[in-house]
Amino acid sequence: MAKTEWFETVAEAQRRAAKRLPKSVYSALVAGSERGITTEDNTAAFGELGFAPHVAGLSAKRDMSTTVMGQAISLPVFISPTGVQAVHPDGEVAVARAAAARGTAMSLSSFASKPVEEVAAANPQTFFQMYWTGGRDKLVARMERARAAGAVGLIMTSDWSFSNGRDWGSPAIPEKMDLRAMLRFAPEGIARPRWLFDFAKTGKVPDLTAPNLSEGGGPAPTFFGAYGEWMQTALPTWEDVAWLREQWGGPFMLKGVMRVDDARRAVDAGVTTISVSNHGGNNLDGTPAPIRALPAIADAVGSDVEIVLDGGIRRGSDVVKALALGARAVMLGRASLWGLAAGGQVGVENVLDIMRSGIDSALLGLGSSSIQDLSANDLIIPDGFRRDLGLKDRAL
Ligand SMILES: Cc1cc2nc3c(=O)[nH]c(=O)nc-3n(C[C@H](O)[C@H](O)[C@H](O)COP(=O)(O)O)c2cc1C
């Protein structure tokens, strides 16, 4: 690969991803559903929150280390699971290495392109993410495989409503990369020679399979085969959440919580961590940004469970805003994918460095010596910003 040039913002990483990736791969990362109201709000909401910086008496030392899911991490940012294929030949292994190099954790999607064994070997702080697909026996088999590979936490994602239309169009993704598909997609690949060259060097084409969903050491199912199985699986109940948590036994995150009543049920089910998240706007369009739902959830269950947030994080100051409103840490979805597309492992390290320096600047300006000192008093919160979802005594 040509030498990757440093970039100063996630916006620049995204521009490079758009230039470098074939159109259909790029648009699979843009994602979102229906009108895109939620995806848009996820980033816009951070822009509504302000800071009131100090001018002197600032802290020379600023600590941003913390723990999440039992893991010590050097900054309150780690990688969210994303089941995306074909961004880069090293895929999730490159992301895991970058996270390890920057002292933080990796979450691996069960729809990812690399086996959990390779990813956990690249980053011992790997969490494995599962959807409720295939039924209990298959779930346990996958979970045990991840445990044997060294995964140190389990993430259950259940905020998915199989919405499949977007006004700006969904990418055409082939069932598998056979000769016919390669010929069909050849013009896109030729228009993006660097991406093509990166894959050509490995001697492989993106194979669009889900190796972490193979059964009993058998062949990996195709991405769409695995998606079909998921669509046909009976939907999980709260008892199923508690059951899976018990099977795992260790740190367990329920990802996709947006309502106070669901957060309380998650606590009752024994989960150790929740992620306030709307799946990056890929679920039910019209769901507000997680940062709006966070304060009510933190008020209700903040002392009972670890709370993280994902959705719309593009800069270090976004991280500081989420922490000030009650999150312990945040996860990066698209920001890490843009970094991966822009520069492989180095690109993801670059994104994590942007987060670190942005957090540091915000702490400096706020006169805080540690992320532990942050509170809502550090922010300017406009009236009506909060969305207190799922409070029994109130209409939404
Ligand atoms: C292209 C794409 C694929 C994703 N795949 C998964 C997945 O397989 N499992 C999962 O739990 N979340 C998945 N997510 C959601 C992310 O983990 C995360 O919740 C979301 O991207 C956060 O928003 P952000 O992209 O604005 O950071 C995906 C998101 C995107 C954009």
Report the domain count for the chain.
Answer: 1
Find the helix packing angle between 193-202 and 179-190, rounded to 10°: 140
Place of tokens 């011992």: 124
R_g of the chain, CA atoms, integer Å = 20
Answer yes or no: is pLDDT of 393 > 60. no
Q: Is position 55 within any domain?
A: yes
pLDDT score at 4? 63
Asked whether the beta carbons of 231 and 251 are under 8 A apart, the reply is no
How much is the pTM?
Answer: 0.95
Residue 229's Cβ-count burial label (10 Å; 0-12, 13-18, 19+) is middle
Q: Is position 4 within any domain?
A: no
pLDDT score at 217? 84
Instruction: Assess whether the C-beta atom of 318 lies below 6 angstroms from ligand 1.
Output: no
Answer yes or no: is pLDDT of 134 > 90. yes
Nearest atom of ligand 1 to the alpha carbon of 255: 11
Instruction: Assess whether the C-beta atom of 32 lies below 6 angstroms from ligand 1.
Output: no
Q: Is position 389 within any domain?
A: no
Q: Is position 392 within any domain?
A: no
Instruction: Assess whether the C-beta atom of 29 lies below 6 angstroms from ligand 1.
Output: yes
Gap from CA of 393 to ligand 1 centroid (Å): 32
Confidence grade of residue 9 (pLDDT, cut at 50, 70, 90) = very high
Return the structure tokens found at 373. 């000192």
Q: Is position 76 within any domain?
A: yes
Q: Is position 23 within any domain?
A: yes
Q: In the 8-state DSSP scheme, what is residue 166?
A: B
pLDDT score at 168? 86
pLDDT digits (tens, 9 = 90+) for 300-335: 999 999 999 999 999 999 999 999 999 999 999 999
Answer yes or no: is pLDDT of 1 > 50. no
Mean pLDDT for all residues in the chain: 93
Whichever domain contains 150, its CATH number is 3.20.20.70
Q: Is position 36 within any domain?
A: yes
pLDDT digits (tens, 9 = 90+) for 34-92: 999 999 999 999 999 999 999 999 999 999 999 999 999 999 999 999 987 678 999 99
What is the spatial distance between Cα 237 and Cα 138, in angstroms, rounded to a whole number?
17
Average pLDDT of the segment spanning 185-196 = 75
Nearest atom of ligand 1 to the alpha carbon of 256: 19
Residue 38 structural domain: 10-380
Q: Is position 387 within any domain?
A: no
